[in-house]
Amino acid sequence: MLRFVLRRLLEFVPVFFIIVTLTFFLIRLAPGGPFAAERAVPEEVLKRLNEYYNLDAPLYVQYFDYLRDLAHGDLGPSFKKPTLTVSEWIALRFPVSLELGLYALGVALLIGLAAGFLAALRPNTATDHVPMSLAMAGICIPNFVLGPLLVLVFALWLEWFPVAGWDLQQDKVLPSITLGAAYAAYVARLSRAGMLEMLAQDFVRTARAKGVSETGVVLRHALWGGMQPVVTFLGPAAAGLLTGSFVVETIFQVPGLGREFIQAAFNRDYTMIMGTVLFYAGLILLFNLIVDIVQAWLDPRVRLS
Amino acid sequence: MDAQPQPMLEAEKGSSLGQDAWRRLRQNRAAVGGGGVLIVMLFLCVITPWMAPYSYEAQNLELGSVAPRQAHWLGTDQLGRDLLTRILYGGRVSFMVGFAATAVSLLIGVTYGALAGFLGGRTDSVMMRVVDILYTLPFTILVIILMVYLGRNLVLLFLAIGAVEWLTMARIVRGQVMSLRKKEFIEAAVVLGYSRRRILFRHLIPNSLGPIIVYCTLTIPQVMLLEAFLSFLGLGVQAPMSSWGLLIKEGVETMEDFPWLVVFPSIVLSLTLFSLNFLGDGLRDALDPRAGKD
Amino acid sequence: MKPIRIGILTVVSTAAFTGCLFREDRAAIGIREGVLHMGNGAEPQALDPHLVSGFTEHKILTSLFEGLATLDGTTLEPKPAAAESWTVSDDGKVYRFTIRENAKWSNGDPVTAHDYVYAWQRNLSPGLGSEYAYMLHCIWNAKVFNEGRLTDFGQVGARALDERTLEVTLENPTPYFPAMQIHFSFFPVHRANIERFGRIDERGTKWTQAGNMVSNGPFLLTKWWPNRIITVAKNPYYWDANAVRLKEINFYPIDNLQTEELTFRAGGLHVTDAVRKSRLPKFRATMPQYLRMHPFLGSYFYRFNCARAPFTDVRVRRAFAMSIDRELITKNLLHGAYEPTACFTPPNTAGYTCTASIPYDVAAAKRLLAEAGFPDGRGLPPVELLFNTSEEHKLIAEAVQQMWKKNLNASVTLVNQDWKVYLDALTNMDYYVARSSWIGDYYDPNSFLDCFLTGGGNNRTGFSDARYDELIGRAAKTPEQGERYRLFQEAERILLDQAPIAPIYLYRRVYLRVPELKGWDENLLGYVIYKNVYFETCGAK
């Protein structure tokens, strides 16, 4: 186990290196630099700005400079929002996205698993169709529709929650639900399928035949196995949730990392894009590693070798 | 579901599997209903150019956006264009994108994931790290670059969407295959000396069909909405043509003033996705290799 | 699982308990306590007056800093601000400002002429790379210093004769020089404050953070939580502090119009940055007392690429420009939010109103197109209409596409691009027709008309006319307003005759504002003098 984790962590190094390289050159391919503006920036000024940020050096020199700074843990200044460095921006924004993501993940798991398992226990009955239809609705209604709709009903008409913001605890309810809803739907469908799969397995039938009670069968055997596809899905999903969602953060004006990232992409804020991509990369790799470990733990037949 | 699990070897009579599945599918009322709705929807979208009383781009600025009425069953949009016509035309795009991009993601994802899970070891490790890398690349930038260097067309749109959607599919299939690989019937197949290809395509993938189909029905809506985002960025559908995702996205902006602009496209999209979903569930049950022949 | 469960518990329990928490909303409390809550459209890039470039920042910075002069909120005539008075030499090239004796920084230090010299030196320092330094190029030698060809700032035309006297020598007579002082590029900075956190020409130092910043305006920065809120509070050292009636202003960087509007309606804001045009009919009918609309110094127009066929032919350009029904677009599509225009410079810009125009005349347009060799659009190559990604630009482009199809039988493809790609295409002139807009930098027609000088960075159409260049050049050297405006008239007539652009509409500020908010000026510049703003409560009536 320990060896497995260590080896995977070692694998991170080349993967990270590839991501840095690919992203670095990729973003330079996109037309328009960070200082292109509607009011033409005078050529002299543009030259000075490029000098200031070392953007006038040949690309490969910039690349090696970036690698060197990165090795020292320096992600550089933000071109477009110079008041803070990229690391400071991430440190400021990520906790917000993390908090929102955790709530949304909670919503997704709680509702999703409950609905999925309930449905799987009595397939093709009302307890199956009702939660599954709701789950489907969760997928069909995109969050850019659900968000404004929830605001209209719960903030404007019922006045239960604020419209937007991220200061009070009650600010966090609507965005969490909006973000979590689609994921809940996924979890519900995947867990239902996984459960049904498990309940049809030989060992479950054996257990039933041996007279283990239905609850026992479900809890002891089917539940964990049934979560398998959910867990696989949760790896990337959790990374996506925790790093923030542009749409939900915009609708509810949540000061998270997701918005920052998309804005950086549109602004061609090179260092900011690099910084956030690398940060995401770290999270995704980490989550996938966790998923692999959890998967092995859920299903002893998958050996970590 | 009365499908009684049967011993694995039963399913080996491959030739009748398709027929069995078809028979089982027909007995599933929800699936048949879903399929029916889908066919009607598809048919309407296909014949639209010959049937629609309006053009998707004909404007009437004096009229502007009006609520449903006799001349315009579903109302008109802000440029005075007939909404029903635009929904039907949009459906052509959405169906095409939904199916094509999902097919791309399915093809790549399933093959890739199954291979990785089956081969295991170092190969699996490398293959999965490639997926990780692709996951992390900044998608928005990628789309912009694609658009700038390769122009804008629908094929590119399928590729762009397929290229991101296969990643999760690959991970899910790999997870399934890995857990199946250690099962008795696979080990039996190995002992019997079946070729790797046969084991992969006849045993591992068919036995992972459940999650694959379910994830597919989840992918299609995702793809249709992703298309809206990409079209908004400029890749894909160009105005004045539209798609369901785009219609909804634009409709939300005016949901308090012209609610029909978001309500009708949403209803059509949801109806389609629901049908697709029932059909998907039916298919999953019908194709289950363990399901008996009743 | 544990933190997740706790998260859920929090969510659920708050859901249960919040039902009756906010009855008296934020706006009502604000009115009672003199705290203004305003939507500000977007997060500012920075709060350093020499590093920013937009209206978003302008609205915050004018509360924090004060230039030498300000403008009258209604007439937009220059008025004394940090300077109590000034004199102009007869040739209009030398200004002498006398700074108020009681002008103070927010830390109590006196504001001196040296502070302005220092600030302008900083803004013009080549190393800082200030994008808006060109605003100061009207000052003698400023341009050469800014470009690094002169290193001694002593030779630039800004000198402190003593603590309170600032002498500015200009390149040309610039009658609008005092009016330009409301622009952030002229704002002073506190030398010790800047240098405590970095060099004079260092970008992104920490001096602009709350607690660090020293400013000289009616308000001082007390809180800056990026993407959440910026709070400024009354500056007790401000020379006119007695006139300042608001206790605090909160700027909310809400960049989603729907969210901003809903926040306003839920009582979270006193004034919004803008509203969606599709909302106007309903607002007019149901809440007219909140809806504010007034002209703004900006033009929305289409650019033609004069270097690319078929737009190399002036007749084709004019034909296209003349077949846009601007009235229909502004009235029906944009619900009367904007004013259709047939010329480029907004009317009554510092007293200048253009007399030339490009009429909407389909018959004439068809004739012109036929003369150019494309009778009834035959032989006209397919062209593309480029716009940057936005719902509103798309709606307008779709309407214009149909108009050109109907009126000229022209086949036009719509191309939307991400903002930076769009700018790139514009700069490299890789387009046929492109949606554009221009907001005046200062209150003078020159801010509009000098865009189209030959080879100018903001020209981007390939338009070049020797007579036009000469007229604008002569206007710059003319101190007398009447004569200047006559030159501008002739120049703009050439511009519209040559039609490198097709004017469409003039901007308006369209936003929501609570009726209790008073002293909020409505002028062409959208320039609000915060010290005049106050709340009138019902009881006071």
SS (H, E, C) C138-151: HECCHHHHHCCCCC
Of C125, C111, C51, whose CA–CA distance to C81 is shortest?
C111
If you average pLDDT over every residue of chain B, what do you get? 82
pLDDT of residue B289: 60
**Which A-chain residues 129-188 have CB contacts (< 8 A) with chain B?**
133, 136-137, 139-142, 144-145, 148-149, 152, 186
Given an 8 Å threshold on Cβ–Cβ distance, is C424 in contact with A31? yes
Q: Do residues C263 and A159 lie in contact, with contact meaning Cβ atoms separated by under 8 Å?
A: no
For A45-61, the DSSP string reads HHHHHHHHTT-SS-HHH
Q: Which chains have 3+ CB pairs within 8 A of B?
A: A, C
Per CB-CB distance under 8 Å, the chain A contacts of C425 are 31
C-alpha distances in Å from residue C342, one per residue of B281, C323, C327, C363, C403: 61, 12, 10, 17, 17
For residue C96, give how far its alpha carbon lies from the nearest alpha carbon of chain B (Å): 51
Per CB-CB distance under 8 Å, the chain A contacts of B133 are 15, 18-19, 22, 281
Flag whether pLDDT at B87 surpasses 50: yes
Of B242, B177, B251, whose CA–CA distance to B209 is shortest?
B177
Tokens encoding B4: 């009684």
C-alpha distances in Å from residue B31, one per residue of A129, B25, B35, B281, B286: 13, 7, 6, 7, 10
Residue A54: domain span = 1-305
For residue B145, give how far its alpha carbon lies from the nearest alpha carbon of chain A (Å): 5
Given an 8 Å threshold on Cβ–Cβ distance, is A148 in contact with C258? yes
User: Torsions phi, psi of B228, nearest 5?
Assistant: -60, -45
Which H or E element spans position C83?
strand C83-88
State the Cα–Cα distance between residues C509 and C511, nearest whole angstrom: 6
The size of chain A, in residues, is 305
Q: What is the mean pLDDT of each run of 10 residues along chain A (305 residues)?
A: 82 89 90 86 87 90 93 90 91 92 91 86 79 79 87 89 87 92 85 80 76 74 75 77 82 90 89 91 84 74 50
The dihedral through the CA atoms of C175, C179, C184, C187 has a sign that is positive
Q: How many CB atoms lie within 10 A of CB A7?
A: 11
State the Cα–Cα distance between residues A256 and C227, nearest whole angstrom: 8
Tokens encoding C436: 């554009």
State the Cα–Cα distance between residues C56 and C254, nearest whole angstrom: 11
Between CA A50 and CA A57, with CA A54 as vertex, the angle to 5 degrees is 95
Q: Which residues pair with C508 in a beta bridge?
A: C295
Residue B214 CA, distance from chain mean position: 10
User: What region does C129 belong to: left with phi over 0, alpha with psi -120 to 50, or beta?
Assistant: left
Tokens encoding B58: 């004909």
Tokens encoding C465: 């006319």
State the Cα–Cα distance between residues C189 and C192, nearest whole angstrom: 9
In terms of Cβ atoms closer than 10 Å to its own Cβ (0-12, 13-18, 19+), residue B125 is: middle
Q: At what angle do helices A270-298 and B154-181 cross, to 10 degrees?
A: 30
User: What region does C379 belong to: left with phi over 0, alpha with psi -120 to 50, or beta?
Assistant: left
Given an 8 Å threshold on Cβ–Cβ distance, is A124 in contact with B1? yes
Of B156, B159, B136, whose CA–CA distance to B148 is shortest?
B156
Of A231, A241, A243, whose CA–CA distance to A290 is shortest?
A231
ipTM: 0.87
Q: Do residues B160 and B150 lie in contact, with contact meaning Cβ atoms separated by under 8 Å?
A: no
Per CB-CB distance under 8 Å, the chain C contacts of A89 are 226
**Which one-letter amino acid corresponds to residue A191?**
S
Cis, peptide link before residue C310, omega less than 30° from 0: yes
Flag whether pLDDT at B3 surpasses 60: no
Which H or E element spans position A247?
helix A246-251
Of C172, C130, C348, whose CA–CA distance to A39 is shortest?
C130
Q: Which residues pair with C513 in a beta bridge?
A: C271
**Which C-chain residues 427-446 have CB contacts (< 8 A) with chain A?**
427, 437, 441
Tokens encoding C18: 């919040």
pLDDT of residue C297: 94
For residue B288, give how far its alpha carbon lies from the nearest alpha carbon of chain C (Å): 33
Q: Which residues pair with C83 in a beta bridge?
A: C99
Given an 8 Å threshold on Cβ–Cβ distance, is A78 in contact with C427? no
CATH number at residue A82: 1.10.3720.10
In this structure, what is the dihedral angle of CA atoms C530, C532, C535, C537, given to the nearest 10 degrees?
180
Which segments in chain C show pLDDT lower than 70? 1-23, 538-541
pLDDT of residue B4: 42
- End-to-end Cα, chain B, rounded Å: 11
Cis, peptide link before residue B240, omega less than 30° from 0: yes
State the Cα–Cα distance between residues B185 and B200, nearest whole angstrom: 12
> Mutating which of A44, A92, A107 best tests the C interface, going by the most C Cβ atoms within 10 A?
A44
Number of folded domains that form chain A: 1
Given an 8 Å threshold on Cβ–Cβ distance, is A167 in contact with C228? yes
Of C327, C358, C303, whose CA–CA distance to C497 is shortest?
C358
pLDDT of residue B1: 36
C-alpha distances in Å from residue C243, one per residue of C58, C73, C78, C93, C234: 21, 15, 19, 33, 11
Q: What are the b/e assignments for B192-201, b being 16+ CB within 10 Å?
A: eeeeeeebbe
C43: DSSP letter: -
Task: Looking at C77-217, list the stretches that DSSP marks H as alpha helix, in order from N- to C-terminal side.
Answer: 113-124, 142-146, 177-180, 191-197
C173 contacts: CB under 8 Å, gap ≥ 6: C91, C92, C93, C477, C478, C479
Of C399, C309, B145, whose CA–CA distance to A22 is shortest?
B145
Q: What are the b/e assignments for B206-223, b being 16+ CB within 10 Å?
A: bbbbbbbbbbbbbbbbbb
Which H or E element spans position C388?
strand C383-388
User: Does residue B229 sit at the C interface (CB-CB below 8 Å)?
Assistant: no
pLDDT of residue A91: 93
**Which one-letter amino acid corresponds to residue A125?**
T
> Mutating which of C259, C333, C403, C405 best tests the B interface, going by the most B Cβ atoms within 10 A?
C333
Would strands C229-234 and C219-225 be described as parallel, antiparallel, or unpaired?
A: antiparallel
Chain B and chain C share a number of CB contacts under 8 A equal to: 66
- End-to-end Cα, chain A, rounded Å: 8
Q: Do residues C187 and C135 lie in contact, with contact meaning Cβ atoms separated by under 8 Å?
A: no
pLDDT of residue B2: 39
The size of chain B, in residues, is 294
**Which B-chain residues 222-251 have CB contacts (< 8 A) with chain A?**
222, 225, 228, 245, 248-249
- Helix%, strand%, coil% for chain C, nearest 5: 40, 20, 40
User: What region does C100 belong to: left with phi over 0, alpha with psi -120 to 50, or beta?
Assistant: beta
State the Cα–Cα distance between residues A29 and C376, nearest whole angstrom: 42
pLDDT of residue B259: 92
pLDDT digits (tens, 9 = 90+) for B129-174: 898 888 888 777 788 888 777 777 777 777 788 878 888 889 888 8
> Mutating which of C417, C419, C420 best tests the B interface, going by the most B Cβ atoms within 10 A?
C417
User: Does residue B55 sit at the C interface (CB-CB below 8 Å)?
Assistant: no
State the Cα–Cα distance between residues C303 and C430, nearest whole angstrom: 12
State the Cα–Cα distance between residues B271 and B277, nearest whole angstrom: 10
Q: Which chains have 3+ CB pairs within 8 A of A?
A: B, C
State the Cα–Cα distance between residues C250 and C243, nearest whole angstrom: 19
pLDDT digits (tens, 9 = 90+) for A178-194: 999 888 888 888 888 78
Residue B260, CA atoms < 13 Å, CB-side half-sphere: 18
**Which one-letter amino acid corresponds to residue C378?**
R
pLDDT digits (tens, 9 = 90+) for B244-294: 988 998 898 888 899 999 999 999 988 888 888 888 878 877 776 665 433
Of B5, B129, B176, the CB nearest to A11: B129
State the Cα–Cα distance between residues C156 and C170, nearest whole angstrom: 9
Q: Which residues pair with C416 in a beta bridge?
A: C387
State the Cα–Cα distance between residues B269 and B94, nearest whole angstrom: 9
Given an 8 Å threshold on Cβ–Cβ distance, is B238 in contact with C415? yes
Tokens encoding B55: 């053009």
For A76-88, the DSSP string reads -B-SSSTTSBHHH
Quick one: how many helices (H) and strands (E) in chain C?
Answer: 17, 18
